[in-house]
Amino acid sequence: MVCSGCSRFKKLPEGRRCDPCTRLAAASAPKALEEWPLCNSCGTAYEFLYGTVCSICSEPDDHSMPPPSLPGQTVADTSRSTVHLDAAREAMNNPVDPRTYSAPSSSQRVPSNQNAAAVHSDNNTARSNHASAVLGGFITGYGSTYARVQAKANASGLKIPQPKLSAAALQAGPIKKPSQLINVGITRIVNRFNEKLTTHFNTQVISYPESTLWSDVARDLMFWLDGIYTMQFKYRIQSEADFTLVFTPSKGTLNSVNDFDPDSTLGNFWIACTQTPGLHVIPKNIKVHRLELTAHVNYPQQDGNSVGPYDDEGFATSAFSTHTTRSTTSKKRRTVEDDTGSDDESHRPKRQAITKKGGHLYHTNITGSVSFSSAAVKFVVRKVVVSLSSDSDTAPKWSKSDEKLSVWVAKEKFASGKTKNAFKMQLGGSYYAAKSFYDLGDHLGTPSHYRNLKHLKEELLRQKTIEQALSRFNREAKDQRISVFEMEVADSFILEVVDGPQAGLAWIVDPFLDSKNMRKLSGTDMAGIVHPIARRNIIGTDCLTLFDLMGHSIDGTMGLGDKGLTGIQDFCNQHQCNRICKKFDLEKTTKLALRLPLDDDDSDTDKYIGGENASDDPSSFDRDDAERDFNDANAENEVTSADAESGSGKDISPEAESEK
């Protein structure tokens, strides 16, 4: 007979308990039979059961003695008992070979890795989930058992040792398998239409988690190739149709990888590469999880538009001067300034190399961080956006969202220009640069909420107009195969405060670019400056992000800072055409200036607030503006005393608000 307290010690006389259970029963308060824990396998009740299965059900022998069947101690449902016993017996009768991890499959086992490769690792996923569930069940059972024993020990005054598993492990639940890193790199480049033309580069092997989508990996490789060919040949690789990726052959066999499902993960792709016949990955690379690829690039172009190893201005296009024979008349390599300004190369310094020649570079994608360095204020806002039609005769459509958003705005500005202050703003989990006017160029102090919002709308409309023009420029450059730097306009919108004493306050909001590499492209505007951010990602692709844009128009419709014909004339006088203008076959600015209408001194195009011909008399301002300024000033004076009661504008941090 077994002990009725712990289910152990089979040779005990009937009615007797083992010594540990006898001491526990004497030290603890008696419990009713209904409160005794039940064995999950046979349903028998034991007062001091260790774990969830009794020792009798844990025996592998089919002829072990049956459990005691006292009245009221068993349950009718024994379905789980059959499952656990069958699984345990099958595992013991069919042990797994640890060297090959192969064994006869059964209904109780997850198929082996050999079968999993044929179905794109579906069974591997099932195996992983099964192992995670088993491990999670073990941790949960271990934690509950220790907690129960500890409670009984504390009640009886006994001391028990600390668990071998840490508290964090007991509370974390199932342990997930760490993500495996796979190293991907292009080790060879072939020019499809001229294989004798050599492309010089340093192999970059990028480490990706196996959960990364293959489409993201292919896009990074395209950006890397684009940088190589832009630097050497002034040729842009702008889509996956411009090149083909194949496995670096081990026995002269080429296998394209472009047809692989882009929505699948890199881990599935790696399994297909290493376990499917015909896809060659050498054993040495399998051990280090390295995937070497060869890129076949559709270069030179066969339509006669390519410029070859030297462009039309005689610039040598090799990335490394020691790898190729340079012409004695060749000039220094071009930089960002060459494509945005003058062709004068005499003052251009050499570009610094980031790696040694011939070296291999391993790196992982990283992202920067940003946080508030001062107190922040919470506001309730609505988003204001504008949409433009392709038809120039259609008026812009303004809309305000119905959803109210909560934002945090830093109390202290982090940057300031001649007309606007910039504050860090947190919206959701992202950071933005929020800018508002403090001077409109009239030197009358901080403008009212109405005038601030009015000019912010003009600025947003100006940015969207330029964004349309830039989109057309990029499309034409791509169609004509003209090498230009990537440019984009910052994705901006307006946020207007709708609740509290500061209702009506507004900002124009741009994504926060935490970079010190800002360069001013134009210094002729008093209302704003043009900031491009040369944003080089880890792959090496350049992108100019433009914001705080300025525009001049004949009819003066570009808002604050529009100098009309005077501004256009200044542009024509200052601009120097470069190779981009020549390839677009654009008219020279000297000829363009001759076709401009005469600048009439009596024209109203420059009579805006802060313009060159603006009047200093405040009475010349718009009557509606003056009335709104007066009403806004009175409203602000009335709500000053309500700041402390409403809590709006209280200097607290987002972290403090979350704790509250």
> Do 530 and 498 meet the contact criterion of CB atoms below 8 Å apart?
no
Residue 139 in tokens: 């941790």
Query: 404-431 burial, b for 16+ CB within 10 Å, e for fewer?
Result: eeebbbbeebeeebebbbbbbbbbeeeb
Distance CA 48, CA 35 (A): 11
386 and 275 fall within a common domain: no
Given a cut of 70, whether residue 565 has pLDDT beyond it is yes
Share of the chain above pLDDT 90, in %: 5
- 252 and 386 belong to one structural domain: no
Identify the residue with better confidence: 599 or 383: 383
Does position 612 have pLDDT exceeding 50, yes or no? no
pLDDT band at 286 (very low <50, low <70, confident <90, very high): confident
Angle between helices 214-233 and 266-275 (to 10 degrees): 90
Task: Please check whether residue 534 is in contact with residue 542, taking contact to mean a CB–CB distance below 8 angstroms.
Answer: yes
Question: Tens digits of per-residue pLDDT, 428-438?
Answer: 878 899 999 98
In this predicted structure, what is the pLDDT of residue 332? 43
Residue 628: inside a domain:
no
Sheet holding 543-547, edge to edge: 486-489, 543-547, 531-534
Assess if residue 88 is contained within a domain. no
Cis peptide before 174 (omega within 30 of 0): no
pLDDT of residue 559 exceeding 60, the answer is: yes
- More confident site: 146 or 596: 146
CA pair distance 225, 191, nearest whole angstrom = 12
Q: Report yes or no: 68 and 4 within 8 Å, Cβ to Cβ.
A: yes
Is residue 520 situated within a structural domain? Answer: yes
**With 70 as the cut, is the pLDDT of residue 184 above it?**
yes
Residues 191 and 269 in one domain: yes
Please check the confidence at residue 496 and state whether its pLDDT lies above 90.
yes
Q: Are 310 and 327 in contact (CB under 8 A)?
A: yes
Cβ–Cβ < 8 Å for 343, 335:
no
> Under DSSP, is residue 216 helix (H, G, I), strand (E, B) or coil?
helix
Residue 102 lies in a domain: no
Q: What CATH number does residue 433 fall under?
A: 3.30.200.20
Q: Which of 23-37, 154-168, 299-313, 349-363 has the lowest mean pLDDT?
A: 349-363
CA dihedral sign of residues 301, 302, 307, 310 = positive
Q: Is residue 120 part of a domain?
A: no
Instruction: Note whether residue 309 is domain-resident.
Output: no
Q: What does the mean pLDDT of the chain come to? A: 68
Long-range CB contacts (< 8 A, 24+ apart) of 254-261?
254/294, 255/279, 255/280, 257/293, 260/214, 261/214
Q: Could you give the C-alpha distances from 191 to 51, 217, 266, 300, 310, in angstroms and in order?
A: 67, 21, 26, 7, 16
Q: Say whether both 437 and 577 belong to one domain.
A: yes
> 417 or 426, which is more confident?
426
Q: Report the C-alpha gap between 219 and 214 in whole angstroms.
A: 9
Strand bridging mode 543-547 / 486-489: parallel
Taking CA atoms, 389 is separated from 384, 394, 476, 546, in Å, by 17, 6, 19, 22
Are both 457 and 580 inside the same structural domain? yes
Q: Which of 246, 275, 297 is where one domain is finished? A: 297
| 8 Å CB contact between 77 and 43 | yes
Q: Please, which pLDDT band fits residue 373 given cuts at 50, 70 and 90?
A: low
**Structure token digits, residue 206:** 């990028």
DSSP structural state of residue 6: T
pLDDT score at 76: 39
SS3 135: helix
273 and 373 together in one domain: no
Residue 277 and residue 197 in one domain:
yes
Provide the token pair at 588.
């020279």
489 and 572, same domain (yes or no): yes
Is 145's pLDDT higher than 70?
A: yes
* Same structural domain, 457 and 570: yes
Domain tally, the chain: 3
Please report, for the domain that includes residue 185, its CATH number. 3.10.20.90
Do residue 394 and residue 480 come from a single domain?
yes
Burial class (CB in 10 A: 0-12, 13-18, 19+), 632: middle
84-88, 144-148, 217-221, 629-633: least confident range: 629-633
Is the pLDDT at 505 greater than 90? The verdict is yes
Q: Identify the band that residue 123 occupies on the pLDDT scale cut at 50, 70 and 90.
A: low
Q: How many CB atoms lie within 10 A of CB 501?
A: 19
Whose tokens are 């293959």? That residue is 214
User: In the predicted model, what is the mean pLDDT of residues 595-613?
Assistant: 47
- The pLDDT score that the predictor gives to residue 646 is 39
Q: What is the pLDDT of residue 356?
A: 38
The answer, yes or no, to whether residue 310 has pLDDT greater than 60, is: no
Predicted confidence (pLDDT) per residue in 45-82, tens digit: 778 877 778 877 777 554 444 444 444 444 434 444 55
Other beta carbons less than 10 A from residue 266's beta carbon: 21
Domain encompassing residue 285: 181-297
Q: Is residue 477 part of a domain?
A: yes
Residue 103 domain-assigned (yes or no)? no
**Has residue 315 got a pLDDT over 50?**
no
Find, among 518, 513, 521, 549, the residue nearest to 534 by Cα.
Answer: 518
Judge if 394 and 531 occupy the same domain: yes
DSSP per position, 407-435: EEEESS-SEE-SSEEEEEEEETTEEEEEE
Average pLDDT over residues 614-640: 43
385 shares its domain with 264: no
The H or E element that residue 36 is part of is none
Dump pLDDT digits (tens) for 220-245.
888 888 888 888 887 888 787 888 88
Nearest to 250 by CA among 188, 172, 158: 188
Quick check: helix, strand or coil at residue 649?
A: coil
3-state secondary structure of 386: strand
Q: How many CA atoms lie within 13 A of 500 on its CB side?
A: 19
Q: For the sheet with 243-247, list strands across it.
A: 243-247, 290-297, 181-191, 204-209, 361-363
pLDDT at residue 493, as a whole number: 93
Last residue of a domain, one of 242, 275, 297: 297
- Could you tell me which of 534, 539, 531 has the C-alpha nearest to residue 228? 539
Q: 286: helix, coil or strand?
A: helix
Contact 610, 527 (CB under 8 A): yes
pLDDT at position 113 is: 40
What mean pLDDT do residues 477-500 have?
Answer: 85
Q: Is residue 273 pLDDT above 80, yes or no?
A: no
Enumerate the β-bridge partners of residue 397: 387
Q: In this predicted structure, what is the pLDDT of residue 112?
A: 42
Residue 531 forms beta bridges with which residues? 547
The CA distance from 351 to 153, in Å, is 72
Domain end among 278, 297, 316: 297
Percent of the chain with pLDDT over 70: 59
Q: Which of 123-127, 229-233, 559-563, 598-602 has the highest mean pLDDT?
A: 229-233
pLDDT confidence of residue 380: 92
Mean of pLDDT values over 194-210: 84
> Beta partners for 120?
none
What's the rounded Cα separation, in Å, for the pair 336 and 334? 7
